[in-house]
Amino acid sequence: MNFILLVLLCSVLGLFFSVYQGRSIMKEDEGDEKVRSIAIKIRKGANAYLKRQYKGVTIFFVIMFVIFLIMSIFGYVSIFVPFSFVIGGFLSGLSGFIGMKVATQANSRTTTAAKKSLNGALKISFKSGSVIGIVVVSLGLLYIALGFLFLDWYYRDLSEAERILQVTTNILTFGIGASSMALFARVGGGIFTKAADVGADLVGKVEVGIPEDDPRNPAVIADNVGDNVGDVAGMGADLYESYVGSLISSSALAVAAGLSTKGAVVPLLVAALGVVASIFSTFFVKAKEDSSQKNLLKALRRGVYISSVIVAVGSYFIVREILGSENIGVYFSILSGLFAGILIGFFTEYYTSDSYKPTRNLASMSETGPATIIIGGLSLGMASTAIPVVIVAVSVLISFNLSGGANDFNLGLYGIAISAVGMLSTLGITLATDAYGPIADNAGGIAEMSEQDPEVRRRTDALDSLGNTTAATGKGFAIGSAALTALAFIAAYKDSIENIVKSGTSNFEFNLSILNPQVLIGLFIGGMVTFLFSSKTMDAVGRAASKIVVEVRRQFKEIPGLMEGKGEPDYESCIDICTKSAQRELITIAIISVATPVIVGLILGPNGVAGLLAGATVTGFAMAIMMSNSGGAWDNAKKYIESGVLGGKGSECHKAAVVGDTVGDPFKDTTGPSINILIKLMSMVSIVFGALILALGVL
């Protein structure tokens, strides 16, 4: 338990660090009247959106809470489930909320700092990113540590093995709340941001021919709000869930692996080490004035590398100290995950950055029109799945075998789970480099709208385009770790069903052979659900965007003098439309995600559910990478053309590239990064509804 107190300490340290950094950001100059008034509008819009989202979420949470309460009364779930469901949702939402709050204060301050220097702007935006990153991981550790302490006390009369089992499985169910919240935040935010973006571009850039972020465009504030609610709040909620999910699933698997409390504590300690390492390494991120793009990227990378090295060295001692040198293989599992994450990040950059061949080739495909650049982008995205899959495959093989899977199957599964912990251990700093992107993006928007000197915009643009690359890397990271965590979840699912069977009247036995028709059908449905989910989320963006198009057109027609810059556009109405549509579209998507595993379970039994989860993971992993990378490459191909090649801005090539970028918008910012939430939410639903399915299912 002393170790848990240490974890608690690190999380509190992280929170103090965040508060301190947050305060220092608030002390920065926010800028002139104009900047402040725009920033306030964005802040208000983001608040309005989140308020409405939380309203929708509350209804969903109340319904589910009642369902879980009834289930717990009938003994299908433990009494803690309804509460940890709510707590998980709350904390996941809180992570996103804090991120949004920080980001909407930092954007204007970044703009103002960019008036003076590039380095100053980088400092503020990165500092804000690091607050967001550290808050997410600290809140995650805080929840786990407190949960551990409380449940360990509550179950004090059980044997150690029994106690740790109860502790981990009960904490794990937090995940259903956290992933539900993540779904609402990430998908809802994703729909919001891309509907605003696509809608603003379609009318603004294409129809009336005004530049991006022009204050005359009624959807422009909604577009900037979207960055905050989608890319910051959504991502925060999402990664909070990923982080805690990976930690606690590997703790849960430690029990079956016979490593008991010690094995359960290792992932937490590695994560705590990661928090400290992340905080430490933020101090190394600084750039010289007027650094090149390359040097800026190097500055950001430095932070990630330093913290990786710290974790790589430190976790060796953690594993040897706690699990003993006979289990030193577990250390190599952690290492393989850490390394795999860095590699995936690197190859994501290779496929999506215009410094490399793939995106440059893609740009040149615009010469034969939009059709060929679309085909090329899809093809690029599909090809880019190969290396990450191989990296994950090798990492699974290594972590399974080196942790001792050949002799003890459960030990191998623990190894796979803890490799995901290795990958996510440096999340604090990775997330910092990722979250800084939308802040820089917003800063650029504010600079444009408040009509700053072009030099200011040039500086924020440099930061923004860097943000595109770090965002792509961050997504690759999130998806890679999700794949590993999803595997851990399937194993955890099996454990949890077997524990129910052991203590109950069911005589169910797993037959997870891929030739078992239940598993097979589950696999098929899992693959299909990924496609269906992708379809629905893309549709939602399309529908919401077309509403924005209609509204923006209306305003240009009805508000006198708008085009000449004399009339004042009605920004709120666009924000309102985005907000409403995002929430409305979420209903079907949430139902698909929650109902599928329950229905499959009732008809095909737990074997079918395991197949479902595996099928969704396998197809979803490839699909998510494809979508993120296609989208990233289209965006950067467009930026590459804008930099002056192939005729530059306004050329036929550029127009074709804009079509590609628009297709890529929902790919990379709505659908792609949401798929991992689908997979994990389905896993959590499966685990929580396990007993019910066993009792009521056909098989």
Residues in 666-685 that interact with its own copies by CB under 8 A: 666
Minimum CB distance to its own copies smaller for 291 or for 372: 372
Q: Is 14 in the site for its own copies (CB under 8 A)?
A: no
The verdict on 698 binding its own copies (CB under 8 A) reads: no
Q: How far is the CB of 491 from its own copies (least distance, A)?
A: 6
233 binds its own copies (CB under 8 A): no
Distance CA 267, CA 240 (A): 16
Residues 84-100 as b or e (16 or more Cβ within 10 Å = b): bbbbbbbbbbbbbbbbb
Stretch that binds its own copies, among 117-125, 279-287, 568-576, 619-627 (CB under 8 A): 619-627
> Which of 12, 86, 158, 389 is the binder for its own copies (CB under 8 A)?
389
Q: Which amino acid is at 133?
A: G
Provide the mask over 591-610, with x wherever binding to its own copies is found by CB under 8 A and - wherever it is not: -------------------x
- Count of beta carbons in the 10 Å neighbourhood of residue 604: 25
CB 626 within 8 A of CB 385: yes
**Residue 615 sits in the site that holds its own copies (CB under 8 A):** yes
Contacts for 632 with CB less than 8 Å, ≥ 6 apart: 348, 351, 352, 468, 471, 472, 475, 664, 668
Task: Examine residue 210 and tell whether it contacts its own copies (CB under 8 A).
Answer: no
Tell whether residue 67 is a contact of its own copies (CB under 8 A).
no
Tokens in use for 27? 């002390």
Q: State the amino acid at position 281 in one-letter form.
A: S
State the number of binding residues for its own copies (CB under 8 A).
79
Strands (E), 288-355: none
| Closer of 305 and 524 to its own copies (Cβ) | 524
Rounded Cα–Cα distance for residues 297 and 126 (Å):
12
CA distance 197 to 92: 26
- Nearest distance in Å: CB 432, its own copies: 30
Give the contact letters, 176-205, x = binds to its own copies (CB under 8 A), - = no: ----------------------x---x---
Residue type, 334: I
Residues of span 573-592 touching its own copies by CB under 8 A: none
Residues 393-412 that bind its own copies (CB under 8 A): 393, 396-397, 400-401, 405, 409, 412
The distance of closest approach from Cβ of residue 105 to its own copies in the complex, given in angstroms and rounded to an integer, is: 34
Residue 288 burial (CB count, 10 A): 11
The letter for the amino acid at 233 is A
Which residues from 489-548 bind its own copies, rule CB under 8 A? 490-491, 494, 512-515, 517, 519-521, 523-528, 530-532, 534-536, 538-539, 541-542, 545-546
- Residue 406 neighbours by CB distance under 10 Å: 11
Q: Is 390 in the site for its own copies (CB under 8 A)?
A: yes
- Count of CB atoms situated within 10 Å of the CB of 112: 26
* Of 321, 291, 395, 295, the residue nearest 621 (C-alpha): 395
Asked if 586 and 594 touch (Cβ cutoff 8 Å), the reply is: no
**Whole-number minimum distance, CB 389 to its own copies, in Å?**
4
Q: Which is nearer to its own copies, 274 or 526 (CB)?
A: 526
b/e string for 541-576 if b means 16 or more Cβ within 10 A? Answer: beebbebbbebbbebbeebeebeeeeeebbbebbbb
Choose among 135, 354, 143, 350: nearest CA to 239.
135
∠ CA(609), CA(600), CA(591), 5° rounding?
110
Q: Which of residues 464-493 bind its own copies (CB under 8 A)?
A: 483, 487, 490-491
Among 118, 144, 413, 418, binds its own copies (CB under 8 A): 413
**Spatial separation of the C-alpha atoms in residues 463 and 574, rounded to whole Å:** 27
- Minimum CB separation of residue 688 from its own copies in Å reads 20
Residue 236 and residue 192 in contact, taking contact as beta carbons nearer than 8 Å: no
Q: What is the DSSP letter of 285?
A: -
Does 417 sit near its own copies (CB under 8 A)?
no
How far is the C-alpha of 699 from the C-alpha of 692, rounded, in Å? 12
Provide, rounded to whole angstroms, the least separation between the CB of residue 435 and its own copies: 27
Region from 81-89, 229-237, 307-315, 391-399 binding its own copies, contact rule CB under 8 A: 391-399
> Which of 183, 600 has the CB closer to its own copies?
600
- Tell me the per-residue interface mask from 319 to 348 with its own copies, x by CB under 8 A, - otherwise: ------------------------------
- State the nearest-atom distance from the C-beta of 513 to its own copies, in Å: 4
Contacts of 496 (CB under 8 A, 6+ apart): 169, 687, 690
Task: Give me the least distance between CB of 244 and its own copies, in Å please.
Answer: 23
Contact 562, 569 (CB under 8 A): yes
With b meaning 16 or more CB within 10 Å and e meaning fewer, what string describes 377-389? bbebbeebbebbb
Nearer to its own copies, 202 or 435 (CB): 202
**Position 619 contacts its own copies (CB under 8 A):** yes
Binding mask 546-565 for its own copies (x = CB under 8 A): x--x----------------
Q: Which is nearer to its own copies, 233 or 656 (CB)?
A: 656
Q: Which of 473, 470, 440, 471 is nearest to 457 (CA)?
A: 440
> Which of 401/573 has CB closer to its own copies?
401
Determine the Cα–Cα distance for residues 595 and 6; give it in Å rounded to an integer: 40
Q: Which residues 257-296 are close enough to bind its own copies by CB under 8 A?
A: none
User: Which residues in 90-149 contact its own copies (CB under 8 A)?
Assistant: none
For the bound state, the minimum distance from the C-beta of residue 514 to its own copies, rounded and expressed in Å, comes to 5
430 binds its own copies (CB under 8 A): no
Closest to its own copies by CB, 194 or 457: 194
Q: What is the smallest separation between the CB atom of 654 and its own copies, expressed in angstroms?
A: 14
Query: Of residues 358-387, which lie at the interface with its own copies (CB under 8 A)?
Result: 365, 368-372, 374-376, 378-383, 385-386
Report if residue 214 touches its own copies, rule: CB under 8 A: no
Contact 492, 582 (CB under 8 A): no
